[in-house]
Amino acid sequence: TEAELLHPYFRTRIIESQLHDRVKTPTVIFYPGRRSGQYGLHFLDFYPVDGNYRSTLFGGL
């Protein structure tokens, strides 16, 4: 995906919420931002940490 093209009109969290319990195949979203702790994400460094993701995070620092 190119999630940054959707900003500021649509947040990745909304996509995840819509797919939850509907899609049985794992979905990969390349997240343009940085990781903060175990669950926090900073989307494009525009917003405060949002830990309300249903994602499994791989990589990052």
Rounded-to-integer distance, Cα 19 and Cα 58, Å: 19
Rounded-to-integer distance, Cα 36 and Cα 38, Å: 7
Residue type, 61: L
Domain ranges of the chain: 1-61
Rounded-to-integer distance, Cα 30 and Cα 12, Å: 10
Specify the residue for token string 């940054």.
4
Q: What is the pTM of this model?
A: 0.47
pLDDT at 59 over 70: no
pLDDT at 57 over 70: no
pLDDT digits (tens, 9 = 90+) for 12-46: 677 777 888 888 888 777 767 777 777 677 767 77
22, two tokens: 């509907």
**At 58, is the pLDDT very low, low, confident or very high (cuts 50, 70, 90)?**
low
